Amino acid sequence: MAPTLLQAKQLRVAYGGIEAVKGIDFEVHEGELVSLIGSNGAGKTTTMKAITGGLPLKGGEVLYLGKPISGQGPWDLVRQGLAMVPEGRGVFTRMSITENLLMGAYTRRDKAEIAADIERVFTTFPRLRERKDQLAGTMSGGEQQMLAMGRALLSRPKVLLLDEPSMGLSPIMVDKIFEVVAQVHAQGTTIVLVEQNASRALAIADRGYVMESGLITMTGTGKDLLNDEKVRAAYLGE
């Protein structure tokens, strides 16, 4: 089996006295696309934030490349190849598209390759090329989502965490985003995908985890979960 890049062991996270993540275990192997699904408030975003240093752990640990990473901030993690596109995207609204992409490459010194990677992002998202000098804050939600993904790719991540990339987007944009996620995965990037859109997320996943009320309640291949009666009833509206 491919090496484990990211692992949570009995991870617990609380807001004040309320535990939102109650001791979960999961692992992500090199080259995998792993989807984390579950309803509103299940604890998916909290899990992502705890991994990338945005929230303190109440218990357990997160290992990246075999080493504990608690206490490290998002920038340290990006430097080590662990990048996240947060829910709500977080682009720099007062910077242009191109400036945002360059910020994604701030840990790199290889100017020619950075330019080539920006070119690649523009080929994937022609819309960003058309607007490359426009301020990011003036773009639509879907365009900002593309930019946030492009910016994360500019760090050349080993592992890319995506928190609800399809949220609030039009059906055409949702198609585009899932297409790009599958494409980035096919090019070799390991991906953790948090999604409300369970059917789409499981359809492109190697493996998936179902989260309910702060716990992982099911796991399996994307295909098995997609065909599971309980999953279909609870998350696929059947």
Smaller CB separation from ligand ATP, 28 or 37? 37
Question: Shortest gap between Cβ of 210 and ligand ATP (angstroms)?
Answer: 11
Smaller CB separation from ligand ATP, 41 or 68? 41
Handedness of CA 166, 172, 173, 175 (dihedral sign): positive
Binding piece for ligand ATP, criterion CB under 6 A, among 44-52, 72-80, 134-142, 148-156: 44-52
* Residues paired with 14 in a beta bridge: 19
Binding piece for ligand ATP, criterion CB under 6 A, among 22-30, 41-49, 115-123, 136-144: 41-49
Determine the size of the site formed for ligand ATP (CB under 6 A).
11
With binding defined as CB under 6 A, does residue 196 bind ligand ATP? yes
* Residue 194: strand, helix, or coil: strand
Amino acid 12 reads: R
Question: Shortest gap between Cβ of 237 and ligand ATP (angstroms)?
Answer: 16
Residue 99 CA to residue 87 CA, distance in Å, equals 21
Q: For residue 162, which of 11, 7, 13, 37 has the smallest C-alpha distance?
A: 37
Q: For residue 144, which of 135, 157, 156, 154 has the smallest C-alpha distance?
A: 135
With binding defined as CB under 6 A, does residue 75 bind ligand ATP? no
With binding defined as CB under 6 A, does residue 45 bind ligand ATP? yes
Amino acid 74 reads: P
State the DSSP string of 116-140: HHHHHHHHH-HHHHHTTTSBGGGS-
With binding defined as CB under 6 A, does residue 42 bind ligand ATP? yes
Residue of the chain from 10, 15, 123, 227 that contacts ligand ATP (CB under 6 A): 15
Question: Shortest gap between Cβ of 4 and ligand ATP (angstroms)?
Answer: 23
Question: Shortest gap between Cβ of 139 and ligand ATP (angstroms)?
Answer: 23
Cα first-last separation, the chain = 34
- H or E element at residue 15: strand 4-15
Whole-number Cα distances in Å, 157 to 35, 97, 167: 17, 20, 22
Residue of the chain from 6, 8, 11, 20 that contacts ligand ATP (CB under 6 A): 20
With binding defined as CB under 6 A, does residue 200 bind ligand ATP? no
Site residues (vs ligand ATP, CB under 6 A) = 15, 20, 38, 40-46, 196
